[in-house]
Structure 1
């Protein structure tokens, strides 16, 4: 079979159509992936904010424990009081 100009144009058109169709599929795939990445990024940022908030709460709790520890030591080392009566 000899390739005529018409057959050659048809073949090139078919190859181009398949190639462009593949690009559209990749474009859709990339759009889906980007959407998922955006969603994951939002979740990671939210988790980081929650972790920072928890860290600050833990630091405040540790400071409070340190304050109470000093008071407990004072009470433990204070002389015993004799009960009345």
Structure 2
């Protein structure tokens, strides 16, 4: 009877140790997963920032093009409204 009780105590202790070891191992696995996820998020953030800069540059180019069109629009309207010149000859 005494050996059986001692074995039960030893088995419990061993079981607790195994569960604790597995728990600590899984935490290390989660740390690696979180590091991988954070790395991926950093890469995506860099891509988003690059895309935002490209979009801002394209927006500025479009605004400059619109300003040039606005500048020549008056001259185009004058030419369209002017009387037609007859060809010589």
Q: Which runs of 5+ in 2 are unaligned?
A: none
Match of 2:63 in 1: 59
Q: Give the C-alpha shift of residue 81 in structure 1.
A: 2.9
Q: Which runs of 5+ in 1 are unaligned?
A: none
1:21-56 deviation per Cα after TM superposition (whole angstroms, max 9, x unaligned): 000111111111100000000000000000000001
Structure 2 length normalisation: TM-score?
0.83
Aligned length: 84
> Is 2:78 aligned against 1:69?
no
**Max radius of gyration: which structure?**
2
Q: Give the C-alpha shift of residue 82 in structure 1.
A: 3.7
Structure 1 length normalisation: TM-score?
0.87
Segments of 4+ in structure 1 off by > 6 A? Answer: none
Structure number with higher helix proportion: 2
For the aligned residues, what is the CA RMSD? 1.5
